[in-house]
Amino acid sequence: MTELAINGGAPTRTTPYAVRTTMGEAEKQAVMEVMDSGHLSGFFGSPGPQWLGGPKVQEFERKWADKYGFGHAISVNSWTTGLMTAVGAIGIGPGDEVIVSPYTMSASATAILFYGGIPVFADIDPDTFNLSAESIAARITPRTKAIMVVHIFGQAADMDPIMALARQHQLKVIEDAAQAPGVHYKGKPVGTIGDIGGFSLNYHKHIHTGEGGMLVTNDAQLALRCQLIRNHGENLIEAQGVEDLTNMLGSNYRLTELQAAIGLAQLDRLDNYLETRQRLAAYFGAQLADMPGLTPAKVAEGAGHAYYLYPVKYDAAVTGIPRAAFVRAVNAELPTPTIWEQTGFVEAYVKPLYLAPLYQKKIAIGSKGFPWTENPDVNYDYSRGICPVVERMHFEELIYTPLMREPLTEADIDDFIAAIRKVLSQPQALQGK
Ligand SMILES: *Cc1c(COP(=O)(O)O)cnc(C)c1O
């Protein structure tokens, strides 16, 4: 039996995993064209034709909307500001409760706080890691105004029961599809199954513009409100004939022409990227399936998966190796990453959001407890134990790999599989690690 690399043996693989490079000639040319034009942004924050941005921004939005049949696409300078815009546009205000997953990037919940809304965390489904409709239902109160659905790791959440709840209780639904561009649920593109949604264009996402985001909605009124929030709505509201001033305090969340030009070229690459990730994920999952103690990603009936990350459930009782030791031992079999995307396995994903000091101390806007002070009779409980499935995934069971992506091939995944099999075959070599 060959000795494990973590114990001084030869590693399974020494050639570094290729680093993903999303930028190519098309992006370079697109940028140079904008540079030559001299117009790096086309926005004006006052009435007139340019309040909706320059030609590249508008072309990028049209192209994204047309590709998936979205009624409206509104670009923003990050998906964090996109989420804030969506929360503002649907009218969330101080004391309004919004139900959200705690197993997501922090911004899915902080976007709610920026408008004085109160994040109420619901638990997830243990197979898909997306919000469970039963848990949402148990959190609905007369103060609930919206549900923030996150398509985590790139898999579409089970939207039918969530939309049924939303209709029954007259709640708005926002879809955080940052990790799921191009994904469909029962034939419908994610992002506009609820009222409004969108995608991240940050450097780590499938396609990117350095930083950026894209809001999508089929509701013309919501689209207009997003455009106003993005660009100093207070100056524009009269010219646009909008009478409801709620949350029309604007900001500057505008994308530059340079970024939009890059985004136009990036969008052409998305289908190929998704195809590669899905192919590698299927290949990897098929081999994991015969490894006791490792459960491959489960894709629900009717749900698409973009594999932003590939989640695996790990059962230490079956493998006989603690999770942390397993992850360290597998990674030791692989070349040392220079960036995290080259890492074999990562433990746990994010800590349940409610365990962060922000929620534990209930200090968000100012230092006097706003917005929780808006509902002084309600005890918002953010203690350990409120979402047992999320906690079990984070503290015990979940591991993920970022390796299911271009430009890797099946041969690269074979080395990863060999490393996993080698470690699983020697639990006794990892005792006390
Ligand atoms: C990346 C991400 C965000 C934030 O997007 P930015 O463009 O980085 O601001 C929000 N939600 C989820 C689920 C994300 O993965």
Q: For residue 276, which amino acid is it?
A: T
179 Cβ inside 6 Å of ligand 1: yes
Q: How far does the centroid of ligand 1 lie from the alpha carbon of residue 148, in Å?
A: 13
What's the pLDDT score for residue 433?
72
Q: Is the pLDDT of residue 371 over 70?
A: yes
78 Cβ inside 6 Å of ligand 1: yes
Are the CB atoms for 247 and 91 separated by under 8 Å?
yes
pLDDT tier for residue 359 given thresholds of 50, 70 and 90: very high
Residue nearest to atom 2 of ligand 1 (CA): 178
What's the pLDDT score for residue 50?
93
213 Cβ inside 6 Å of ligand 1: yes
Tokens of 40: 């790096």
Instruction: Determine the atom of ligand 1 nearest the C-alpha atom of 201.
Output: 7
What's the pLDDT score for residue 77?
98
What's the pLDDT score for residue 432?
76
What's the pLDDT score for residue 1?
66
State the Cα–Cα distance between residues 128 and 135, nearest whole angstrom. Answer: 14
What is the per-residue DSSP string for 163-207? Answer: HHHHHHHT-EEEEE-TT-TT-EETTEETTSSSSEEEEE-STTSSS
State the Cα–Cα distance between residues 81 and 384, nearest whole angstrom. Answer: 29
Q: Is the pLDDT of residue 384 over 80?
A: yes
Q: How far does the centroid of ligand 1 lie from the alpha carbon of residue 105, in Å?
A: 6
% of the chain with per-residue pLDDT over 90: 97
199 Cβ inside 6 Å of ligand 1: no
Phi, psi of 131 (to 5 degrees): -50, 135
pLDDT digit string (tens) for 55-71? 999 999 999 999 999 99
Instruction: Determine the atom of ligand 1 nearest the C-alpha atom of 82.
Output: 9
pLDDT digit string (tens) for 137-163? 999 999 999 999 999 999 999 999 999
pTM score of the predicted model = 0.97
What is the per-residue DSSP string for 341-396? Answer: GG-S-EES-SPPGGGSHHHHHT--BTTTTBTGGGSTT------TTSSHHHHHIIII
200 Cβ inside 6 Å of ligand 1: yes
Q: How far does the centroid of ligand 1 lie from the alpha carbon of residue 430, in Å?
A: 36
178 Cβ inside 6 Å of ligand 1: yes
* H or E element, residue 219: none
pLDDT digit string (tens) for 67-123? 999 999 999 999 999 999 999 999 999 999 999 999 999 999 999 999 999 999 999
Are the CB atoms for 417 and 424 separated by under 8 Å?
no
Q: How far does the centroid of ligand 1 lie from the alpha carbon of residue 215, in Å?
A: 12
pLDDT digit string (tens) for 181-192? 999 999 999 999
Instruction: Determine the atom of ligand 1 nearest the C-alpha atom of 205.
Output: 1
pLDDT digit string (tens) for 272-307? 999 999 999 999 999 999 999 999 989 999 999 999
198 Cβ inside 6 Å of ligand 1: no
Strand partners, 231: 252
